[in-house]
Amino acid sequence: MQATQGVPTYQNFNSDSGEFVGEYIVDTDIEAPTRIYTNREYWYPEGVDIEVYLKVDSGKEMLAHDAYHYEHRFNHKYLDVHIKGDQYDGRVIGVRISAKASARLVAEDM
């Protein structure tokens, strides 16, 4: 994560699968989004699947699509994620990015 809408608590990039997971304590007073580098040339040539979740005691709870906004920026090299809603302020939010499922199936068949 190159920038976060809060305080980063965890991030990991799996260079075998291309999966990225980042978690942070969100500050909804910050108007700038969380920015994640997503290099389509090397890791995500067919695009990305995105999962945005709230970390809870039992694991994770998917956020409703109206709770956040995401946008690809600068020729799809970055993904900006902005959390909306004061109910998430101070909570741990996670973003998981992986290669599009169709691209993974093709790679596994090779």
CATH of the domain at 100: 2.60.40.1180
Q: Is 38 within the bounds of a domain? A: yes
Residue 80: give the domain boundaries: 6-109
Rounded-to-integer distance, Cα 75 and Cα 55, Å:
30
3-state secondary structure of 103: helix
Number of domains in the chain: 1
pLDDT tens digits along 70-102: 888 877 789 999 999 899 999 999 999 999 876
Q: Is 1 within the bounds of a domain? A: no
What is the structure's pLDDT at 102?
A: 62
The pTM assigned to this predicted structure is: 0.85
Q: Is 39 within the bounds of a domain? A: yes
